[in-house]
């Protein structure tokens, strides 16, 4: 059956040439649109298999505007553009296209891009359908269980986690309708660790007394309707909503509404501490499973109309699969999102591209993908593409026949064949020469290799995981990386955050490395000094986790084994004033020094708690003062959020 393609291109000559090429190649063109509005009218009549979409179009809407709608409708599309700048590629990537063709292009470029798109679509659709089937089954099982409401709610949160990322999920009937607090949810505090949050927990963390709640509920008459929201942009006319947003430092959230028991409004809200987390794809998932979710919710509410917190059950934890993330330390949301993607892609044969700066742990994530995959019993072969001389890389990857070149005294297997039945990890893929990129693309497409010196192809079954610290969009724009290989590898990207963006993980990482090296060097671990910890928080860590590990190793070596670890030399990049301090001549000078010292100390504490003042582990508790007192000191010393973020 011919595949239907819609062309959205406002240049008549280009659109006509595209149509002729596609028809000759065996495709069916269901229409040509010159604007986004015209394309939408085509889409209302017929859903194409794929859309070729020009980024710049006549009319009010651009190709990127139309792409967002195509993405929400799960329609594959390939961008057409006369400009392949990094900015264009970055903006295009946000809409999750299936390819990118730069004008002017050859017929071969178009056909290769289409092949890649079908490959990506097949993998994406199969994975999505399987996940949706599993989600439906899971929701039905949750509804049929005899567990209490709190357990059901946790299982619902976990079920949707693979589809909808969140730091906090809250569910409940409308406070305005109920006239009382009816909400509860789960705060994600680890990969599979959740803290139950209901009325008591919310007020404690926010530092409020129970008496404050009636007034908050009374001022919460306006509810957020189903949709996607930016916490900074929305009108702050719901006091209870504001309490959730401010207490947990929420930046974006998603709301879905259902009706239970014949008329009672009930909502689920997914909160994220990151901006622009949610898209219409996330909302469409909730709409797709609205019926299942309604049934589960009705049984959950029947078990307990207002979900209260049972005694001594604050933390729900499930460490199944966590052992596969060996050596990966931390609980920052950005890291947890990357680990979540790792668990999602591991069961499939899909190629994976791990992105991130040097030292962020790409190799450990690659090993986790292998350990969680059906190929875990096979070999894991690591190749550093940047460390192999260009003259030897083909032989190293694909093997060679005896006598294939000078020095080839025997037949030798390449890394791909060594990884047969397992996983090959191509680290620093951005360093591959262009001619080798072509040959790697063939391996991805044909799943076969050729020995150097042989024309006989050999079939292989290898899972490919690649990684790079380069910005591949820029490499493509500069002509150093093939666009077709980029999109073939980029089927499922996982981005690892730099250490400077997950500084709350520094204490856990530092303690892990310090304990490791103390045991290795047979020294007693007595902790890390506050001064050293403050300096590590202040540093920007260009070398990421690898640099942190080196710093801790050096500190342990220089430590006497009887006291807390100290920095024995400056961390490069931390500015220290070499000038002598201003002389203290008056009482006001003394007060100024005291203010500066207090300010620096408060900022260091706020950095540790990510700006959280109230509740367990908050800055006020660490300082042993009342939250209101700390608020007053912060205002008086002129400390702003920018000082500790």
User: What is the mean predicted confidence (pLDDT) over 340-365?
Assistant: 90
CA proximity to 234, closest of 251, 258, 221: 251
Show the domain range for 104: 4-119
Query: How remote is the C-alpha of 285 from its chain's centroid?
Result: 18
With 60 as the cut, is the pLDDT of residue 565 above it?
A: yes
pLDDT tens-digit readout, 247-259: 998 999 999 999 9
Please report the pLDDT score of residue 568 as a whole number.
Answer: 65
Closest CA to 271 of 163, 153, 164, 132: 164
481, 512: one domain: no
**Is the CB of residue 253 less than 8 Å from the CB of residue 272?**
yes
Confidence of residue 306 (pLDDT cuts 50, 70, 90): very low
CB 164 within 8 A of CB 286: yes
Q: Which two tokens stand for residue 305?
A: 């109309």
Confidence tier at 418 by pLDDT (50, 70, 90): very high
Domain endpoint, select from 497, 512, 547: 497
Whether residue 150 is found in the same domain as residue 288: yes
Residues in the chain: 645
Is 163 found in the same domain as 298?
yes
Distance set, CA 410 to CA 248, 405, 406, 460 (Å) = 63, 10, 11, 21
Residue 598 lies in a domain: yes
| DSSP-assigned beta bridge partners for residue 33 | 8
Are 81 and 90 in contact by the 8 Å Cβ rule? The answer is no
DSSP tag of 222: P
Q: Are 286 and 256 in contact (CB under 8 A)?
A: yes
Report the CATH number that the domain containing residue 535 is assigned in CATH: 1.10.8.60
| 165 and 42 fall within a common domain | no
What is the tens place of the pLDDT at every residue in 484-519? 788 788 878 899 999 999 998 999 999 999 999 999
Distance CA 531, CA 282 (A): 44
In a domain, 577, yes or no: no
Number of domains in the chain: 5
Q: Which parts of 54-103 fold into alpha helices (H)? A: 63-72, 86-93
- Note whether residue 223 is domain-resident: yes
Q: How confident is the model at residue 319 (pLDDT cuts 50, 70, 90)?
A: very low
Among 497, 514, 535, the domain-final residue is 497
What mean pLDDT is predicted for residues 153-164? 91
CA distance 541 to 564: 22
Query: Based on the domain organization, do 32 and 174 belong to the same domain?
Result: no
| Residue 308, pLDDT score | 45
Provide, rounded to the nearest whole percent, the portion of the chain with pLDDT above 90. 31
Pick from 2-11, 280-289, 301-310, 506-515: least confident? 301-310
| Domain assignment present for 136 | no
Note whether 273 and 381 are same-domain residues.
no
Return d(Cα 67, Cα 59) in angstroms, integer.
Answer: 15
Q: Which of 478, 497, 516 is the last residue of a domain?
A: 497
CATH number where 171 lies: 3.30.450.40
* Residue 145 pLDDT grade (very low, low, confident, very high; cuts 50, 70, 90): confident
Rounded to 5 degrees, what are φ and ψ at 271? Answer: -110, 145
- Classify strands 28-33 and 4-8 as parallel, antiparallel or unpaired: parallel
- Rounded to whole angstroms, what are the CA distances from 24 to 75, 106, 107, 503, 588? 23, 14, 11, 56, 85
Same domain, 511 and 491: no
- The 8 Å CB, 24+ separation contacts for 532-538 are 532/564, 532/565, 532/566, 532/567, 533/506, 533/507, 533/608, 534/604, 535/567, 535/571, 535/574, 536/506, 536/510, 536/571, 537/503, 537/506, 537/604, 537/607, 537/608, 538/574, 538/604
Query: Is residue 357 within 8 Å of residue 469, measured between CB atoms?
Result: yes
Let me know whether 254 and 226 are in one domain.
Answer: yes
Note the pLDDT tens digit of each residue in 119-137: 777 767 766 777 788 888 9
The verdict on 66 and 195 lying in the same domain is: no
Is 570 inside a domain boundary? no
Q: Which whole number is the average pLDDT over 402-425?
A: 85
Is residue 139 in a domain? no
DSSP 431: G
Q: Could you give the 3-state DSSP secondary structure of residue 426?
A: strand
Non-local (6+) Cβ contacts of 327 within 8 A are: 361, 364
Q: Which of 456, 453, 426, 454 is nearest to 441 (CA)?
A: 426
Residues in a beta bridge with 492: 352
Whether pLDDT at 183 is above 90: no
Whether residue 546 is contained in a domain is answered as yes
135: in domain: no
Region of 97 (left: φ > 0; alpha: ψ -120 to 50; beta: rest) is beta
Please report the pLDDT score of residue 315 as a whole number.
55
Respond yes or no on whether the N-terminal peptide bond of residue 104 is cis (omega within 30° of 0).
Answer: yes
- 489 & 534 share domain: no
Same domain, 99 and 211: no
- The whole-chain average pLDDT of the chain stands at 83
Is the pLDDT at 88 greater than 50, yes or no?
A: yes
Q: Which of 546, 544, 547, 513 is nearest to 528 (CA)?
A: 513
Residue 380, token pair as written in the block: 């894991």
User: Using one digit for the tens of pLDDT, what is the confidence trace for 599-627?
Assistant: 877 887 888 777 888 777 778 877 778 87
Which CATH number fits the domain that encloses residue 105?
3.40.50.2300
Of 77-91, 245-259, 531-545, the least confident: 77-91
Same domain, 383 and 468: yes
* pLDDT of amino acid 498: 93
C-alpha 455/C-alpha 470 separation (Å) is 34
């Amino acid at each position: 059956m011919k595949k239907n393609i819609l062309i959205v291109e406002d240049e008549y000559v280009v659109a006509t040439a595209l149509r002729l090429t596609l028809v000759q190649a065996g495709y069916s063109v269901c229409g040509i649109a010159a604007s986004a509005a015209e394309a939408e009218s085509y889409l209302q009549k017929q859903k194409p298999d794929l859309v070729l979409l020009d980024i710049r179009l006549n009319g009010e809407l651009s190709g990127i505007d139309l792409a967002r709608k195509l993405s929400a409708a799960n329609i594959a599309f390939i961008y057409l553009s006369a400009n392949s700048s990094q900015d264009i590629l970055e903006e295009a990537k946000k809409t999750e296209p299936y390819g990118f063709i730069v004008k002017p292009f050859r017929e071969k470029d178009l056909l290769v891009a289409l092949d890649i798109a079908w490959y990506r679509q097949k993998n994406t659709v199969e994975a999505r359908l399987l996940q949706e089937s599993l989600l439906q089954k899971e929701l039905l099982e949750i509804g049929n269980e005899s567990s209490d409401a709190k357990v059901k709610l946790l299982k619902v949160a976990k079920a949707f986690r693979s589809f909808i990322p969140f730091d906090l999920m809250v569910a409940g009937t409308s406070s305005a309708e109920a006239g009382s607090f009816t909400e509860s949810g789960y705060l994600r505090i680890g990969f599979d660790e959740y803290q139950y949050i209901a009325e008591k927990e919310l007020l404690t963390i926010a530092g409020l007394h129970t008496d404050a709640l009636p007034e908050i509920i009374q001022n919460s008459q306006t509810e957020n309707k189903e949709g996607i929201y930016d916490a900074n942009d929305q009108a702050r006319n719901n006091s209870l909503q504001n309490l959730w947003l401010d207490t947990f430092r929420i930046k974006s959230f998603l709301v879905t509404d259902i009706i239970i028991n014949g008329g009672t409004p009930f909502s689920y809200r997914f909160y994220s501490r990151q901006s622009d987390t949610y898209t219409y794809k996330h909302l469409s998932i909730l709409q797709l499973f609205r019926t299942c979710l309604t049934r589960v919710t009705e049984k959950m509410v029947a078990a307990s109309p207002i979900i209260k917190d049972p005694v001594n059950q604050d933390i729900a934890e499930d460490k199944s699969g966590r052992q596969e993330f060996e050596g990966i330390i931390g609980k920052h949301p950005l890291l947890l999102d990357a680990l979540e993607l790792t668990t999602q892609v591991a069961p499939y044969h899909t190629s994976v591209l791990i992105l991130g700066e040097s030292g962020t742990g790409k190799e450990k994530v690659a090993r986790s993908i292998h350990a969680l995959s059906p190929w875990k019993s096979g070999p894991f072969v690591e190749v550093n593409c940047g460390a192999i001389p260009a003259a030897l890389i083909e032989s190293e990857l694909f093997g060679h026949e005896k006598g294939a070149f000078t020095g080839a005294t025997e037949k030798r297997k390449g890394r791909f064949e060594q990884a047969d039945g397992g996983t090959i990890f191509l680290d620093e893929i951005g360093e591959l020469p262009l001619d080798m990129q072509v040959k790697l693309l063939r391996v991805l497409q044909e799943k076969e290799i050729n020995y150097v010196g042989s024309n006989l192809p050999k079939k292989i079954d290898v899972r490919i995981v690649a990684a790079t610290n380069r910005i591949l969009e820029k490499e493509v724009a500069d002509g150093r990386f093939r666009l077709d290989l980029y999109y073939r590898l980029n089927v499922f990207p996982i981005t690892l955050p730099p250490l400077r963006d997950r500084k709350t993980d520094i204490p856990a990482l530092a303690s892990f490395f310090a304990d490791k090296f103390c045991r290795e060097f047979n020294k007693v671990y007595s902790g890390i000094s506050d001064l050293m910890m403050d300096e590590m928080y202040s540093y920007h860590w260009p070398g990421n986790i690898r640099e942190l590990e080196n710093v801790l190793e050096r500190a342990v070596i220089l430590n006497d084994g009887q006291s807390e670890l100290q920095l024995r030399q400056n961390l490069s990049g931390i500015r220290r004033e070499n000038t002598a301090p201003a002389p203290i001549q008056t009482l006001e000078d003394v007060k100024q020094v005291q203010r500066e010292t207090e300010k620096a100390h408060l900022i260091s504490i706020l950095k540790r708690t990510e700006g959280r003042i109230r509740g367990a582990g908050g800055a006020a508790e660490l300082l042993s003062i009342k939250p209101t007192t700390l608020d007053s000191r912060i205002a008086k010393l002129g400390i702003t959020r920018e000082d500790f973020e």
